[in-house]
C-alpha cells in the first residue's frame, strides 16, 4: 500500500493574508441574526405604530328606522370604508383622519351623511334620520328598494 507522501515544501500563506478571528465571526453573525429576528417580528406583528396606521372602532348609535347595515363608516382623506356589523365598524387609518358615517354604497337610492370627526381609537357616531320631508322621501325610496330585493 502506498502511504501519502508529504510535500517536501509545505505551502505557506503569503505574509499579507491574516487569519480571521473565529470569535469575531460568531459575534458578527449572531448580531445579524438578532437584528433580523427583531425586524421580522415587528414586520409580522402588524403593529399599527410600525405601519403608521391606527385602528378605529366606530360604534353606530342608530336612531333611524333602518338596519345598521344601511350605513358605513368612512375615513377622509384615505377613503377607507367599512360596513357596520352588529353596530360596529373597524377601520385602519392614518392618525390625522376624519371619520364620518354615510349611507352604504350598496343602497344608491338612500343618501345620508353625518358630520366629520377626528379619528380616535373608539368612537360613537349617532345617525338620526328624522330630518324632515326630504329624508322621508329618501326612506320611502329605500324601503321600496328593500322590498324589491326580497322578491
For the segment 5-19, what is each residue's pLDDT rounded down to a tens digit? 655 656 665 656 555
Residue with more model confidence, 144 or 96: 96
Place of cell 322621508: 136
Alpha helices in the chain (DSSP H): 22-45, 48-51, 133-150
Whole-model pTM: value is 0.56
DSSP 8-state code for residue 51: H
Give the separation between CA 122 and CA 126, rounded to whole angstroms. Answer: 14
Per-residue pLDDT band at 79 (split at 50, 70, 90)? very high
For the ranges 8-17, 69-78, 131-140, the maximum mean pLDDT occurs at: 69-78
What is the predicted pLDDT for the residue at 18?
59
Residue whose C-alpha is closest to residue 84's, from 65, 61, 53: 61
Amino acid at each position: 500500500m502506498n502511504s501519502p507522501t508529504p510535500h517536501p515544501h509545505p505551502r505557506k500563506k503569503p505574509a499579507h493574508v491574516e487569519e480571521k478571528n473565529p470569535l469575531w465571526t460568531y459575534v458578527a453573525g449572531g448580531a445579524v441574526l438578532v437584528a433580523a429576528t427583531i425586524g421580522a417580528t415587528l414586520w409580522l406583528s402588524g403593529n399599527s405604530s410600525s405601519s403608521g396606521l391606527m385602528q378605529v372602532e366606530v360604534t353606530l348609535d342608530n336612531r333611524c328606522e333602518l338596519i345598521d347595515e344601511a350605513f358605513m363608516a368612512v375615513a377622509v382623506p384615505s377613503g377607507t370604508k367599512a360596513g357596520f356589523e352588529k353596530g360596529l365598524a373597524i377601520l385602519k387609518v392614518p392618525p390625522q383622519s376624519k371619520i364620518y358615517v354615510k349611507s352604504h354604497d350598496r343602497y344608491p337610492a338612500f343618501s345620508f351623511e353625518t358630520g366629520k370627526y377626528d379619528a380616535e381609537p373608539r368612537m360613537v357616531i349617532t345617525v338620526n334620520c328624522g330630518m324632515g320631508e326630504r329624508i322621508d322621501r329618501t326612506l320611502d325610496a329605500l324601503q321600496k328598494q328593500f322590498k324589491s330585493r326580497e322578491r
